[in-house]
Amino acid sequence: MRITCPYCGQRDLAEFAYGGDATQPRPDEADLDAERWAQYVFSRKNPRGWHQEYWQHLHGCRAWLQVTRNTATHEIAEVGLPHGQ
Amino acid sequence: MTTLDPIMRYSAFNLFKQGLRGHRGWPLAWRAPTPAKHYDVIIIGGGGHGLATAYYLAKNHRVGRIAVLEKGWIGGGNTGRNTTIVRSNYMIGSNVDFYEWSMKLWEGLSQDLNFNVMLSQRGQFNLVHSDAQVDAARRRGNVMRAHGIDAELLDAQAVQEALPQLDYRDSARFPIYGALYQGRAGTARHDAVAWGYARAADRLGVDIIQNCEVSGFEFSGERVVGVKTNLGTIGAGRVGVAVAGNSGRLAQMAGFELPIESHILQAFVSESIKPCLDHVVGFGAAHFYISQSDKGGLVFGGDLDGYNSYAQRGNMPILRDVISSAVALMPQVSRLRLLRHWGGVMDMTMDGSPIIGPTPVDGLFLNGGWCYGGFKATPASGWCFAHSLANGGHHPLATDFTLERFEKGLTLDEKGMGPRPWAH
């Protein structure tokens, strides 16, 4: 698996660290509802197919990336910056 | 309960008798039934856990007709894709007594099933490489001993006497300080576990239906009353899910989410060599475990690849990582060739501990989240899940393995990694 970093180009998987599911919205800090926080921290759609996820180019430019990757084939469709920055 | 047919029973006498007829008289080990319209309990997943559940359900409980549905062939998933290690060295909550009960069931399993699961209690050394790790091992050992589980803290010299082939040089990257040893731990033949449970469950009247993939659930109001499959809709009083890495997909079909991510774990077998490793060894400086199979291959594995995957195959960085652990521990293996190498899909929970019991959907029960420790748990997992399917609720040995523990803050995080399933 190779990931095309927007800053560094196509790099080997070994340079990247995984940051997990990018689809769970973080509740507002003032939100004290335990259920919503539990949903954010623990609950996952865990799809077989296209998955939005965070990666960090840890052994490169250290930028955090948002990647669209297929969990059944390991194909990568899109690499961008988190939250469409 | 049906009684054992004496011809079917595996014994020295029957082996001799069948030998006289050229071994052509052995009946099939289990039937290939066509699915009935309705079962009292349907178990989805014909791996070790599903088959063990069916067996203990038929043996220990009275629930009527039972079916196991398997999308491929039995034991073709993670049951055939592990490193076959059996141990009970856990420390937190239900884990301790649950895995010990599993160990006890392993010890009597071949006799119970009338099928040789080739349990080999060769002992496991969990190596430690620093003073802090010695303290942690002592604490774990004390917890185990307080629960009546065998554990022994060994110093470096005692480890060297038992395992002379490891790297004890001062120049070793991670010097060996000692080990926590469990003598009753060991390995079992993984395929035999699936076959043994299948045969024993079949003898008690369980229908094992292979090539039957579930594509959805039938509801009556809020309650699950059946499953949709490629062989048609089958009605069910209760449905149990034991599908390892696919737990999330089944939950999605039923309309809820789980605190689970599916991750890929690779394992490796070297070419066969003469006996050189009598025990199971866990390397404490990295995540690495190794044993030698009866055929002579070194069987070993390490960390997850570390990203969500359903692919049943991994990538090269982790291969390099695992091989470097092997060479750091046993430098003489550096020129061995790999014979086989595969990946399995693990259902990793947010705390690294399993889930056995009811789900938010009425009539639907879950046995999942085994992370990469499912093989050793097979007997107790089936035992406790059978209890849940027969009586509802949780078995007394599995009271902590609930789905609600996450939102209640009662997680069982044995490794202390937090909600990062790829780090457990």
Residue B372: the pLDDT is: 87
| B54 is a domain residue | yes
Residue B364 DSSP one-character state: E
Instruction: Give the closest of B249, B259, B316 to A42, CB-based.
Output: B259
Angle at the Cα of B305 from the Cα atoms of B299 and B306, rounded to 5 degrees:
140
The Cα–Cα gap between B68 and B198 comes to: 9
Give the angle B221-B223-B225 at the CA atoms, nearest 5°.
Answer: 105
- Contact assignment for B350 to A41 by CB distance below 8 Å: yes
pLDDT confidence of residue B6: 54
Whole-number pLDDT of residue B4: 52
Min CA distance, B369 vs chain A (Å)? 13
Q: What is the pLDDT of residue B1?
A: 42
Asked whether residue B317 falls in the same domain as residue B208, the answer is no
Exposed, middle or buried: residue B391 (CB in 10 Å: 0-12, 13-18, 19+)?
Answer: exposed
Q: What is the pLDDT of residue A85?
A: 58
Judged by CB atoms closer than 8 Å, whether chains meet at A48 and B259 is answered as: no
Tell me: do B163 and B128 sit in the same domain.
yes
The ipTM is 0.94
The predicted structure's pLDDT at residue B112: 97
Concatenated DSSP letters for B200-234? HHHHTT-EEE-S--EEEEEEETTEEEEEEETTEEE
**Which residue type occupies A10?**
Q
Put simply, the answer to whether B257 touches A21 (Cβ < 8 Å) is no
- Is there a single domain that holds both residue B180 and residue B208? no
pLDDT of B3 reads: 47
Distance CA B347, CA B367 (A): 11
Q: Is B258 on the interface with A (CB under 8 A)?
A: yes
Interchain contact, B257 vs A44, CB within 8 Å:
yes
What CATH class does A2-84 carry? Answer: alpha beta
A35 at interface of B, judged by CB pairs closer than 8 A = yes
Same domain, B161 and B292: yes
CA distance B153 to B371: 27
CATH number, position B138: 3.30.9.10
pLDDT of res. B8: 73
Residues 6+ apart with CB under 8 A from B416: none
Rounded to a whole number, what is the distance in angstroms from the first to the last CA of chain A? 24
Contacts of B249 in chain A (CB under 8 A): 46, 48
Q: Which residue out of B310, B346, B366 would a mutagenesis test of the A interface target, given it has the greatest number of A Cβ atoms within 10 Å?
A: B310
- CATH code for position B364: 3.50.50.60
- Residue B419, both tokens: 């909600």
If you measure CA to CA, which chain A residue comes closest to B423? A18
DSSP type of residue A24:
S
CB contact under 8 A, A53 and B307: yes
**B255 contact A CB<8A:** no
- A46 to B311: CB separation less than 8 angstroms, yes or no: no
Is A18–B422 a contact, with Cβ atoms under 8 angstroms apart? Answer: yes
Q: Would you write out chain B's pLDDT as a tens digit for each of its 424 residues?
A: 444 555 578 999 999 999 999 998 888 899 999 999 999 999 999 999 999 999 999 999 989 999 999 999 999 999 999 999 999 999 999 999 999 999 999 999 999 999 999 999 999 999 999 999 999 999 999 999 999 999 999 999 999 999 999 999 888 889 999 999 999 999 999 999 999 999 999 999 999 999 999 999 999 999 999 999 999 999 999 999 999 999 999 999 999 999 999 999 999 999 999 999 999 999 999 999 999 999 999 999 999 999 999 998 899 999 999 999 999 999 999 999 999 999 999 999 999 999 999 999 999 999 999 998 899 999 999 999 999 999 999 999 999 999 999 999 999 999 889 999 998 8
Q: Which domain holds residue B95?
A: 31-116+189-260+351-423
Query: Do B38 and B112 belong together in one domain?
Result: yes
Give the residue among B338, B362, B379 at the shortest CA–CA distance from B50. B379
Last residue of a domain, one of B303, B331, B346: B346
The closest CB to that of A14, out of B257, B308, B317, belongs to: B317
Judge: A53–B306 Cβ closer than 8 Å, yes or no: no
Per-residue pLDDT tens digits of chain A, which is 85 residues long: 999 999 999 999 999 999 999 998 899 999 989 999 999 999 999 999 999 999 999 999 999 999 999 999 999 999 999 976 5
Do B234 and B302 lie in one domain? The reply is no
If asked whether residues B155 and B291 sit together in one domain, one would say yes
Residue B190: φ, ψ to 5°:
-65, -45
B342 shares a domain with B361: no
Count of structural domains within chain B: 2
pLDDT at res. A49: 96
**Amino acid at site B407:** E
- Quote the pLDDT of residue A84: 63
To which H or E segment does residue B302 belong?
strand B297-308
If one counts every other C-beta atom within 10 angstroms of the C-beta of residue A17, the result is: 15
B296, B313, B346 — which closes off a domain? B346
Minimal CA–CA distance to B154: which of B183, B121, B174?
B183
Contacts of A47 (CB under 8 A, 6+ apart): A71, B248, B252
Residues 6+ apart with CB under 8 A from B1: B58, B59, B204
Q: Tell whether B42 and B69 lie within a shared domain.
A: yes
- Residues in contact with A30: Cβ distance below 8 Å, sequence separation at least 6, in sequence order: none
Q: Encode pLDDT of B361-398 as tens digits.
A: 999 999 999 998 899 999 999 999 999 999 999 999 99
Residues B38 and B165 in one domain: no
- Closest chain B residue by Cα to residue A54: B307
Cα distance between residue B52 and residue B138, in whole Å: 34
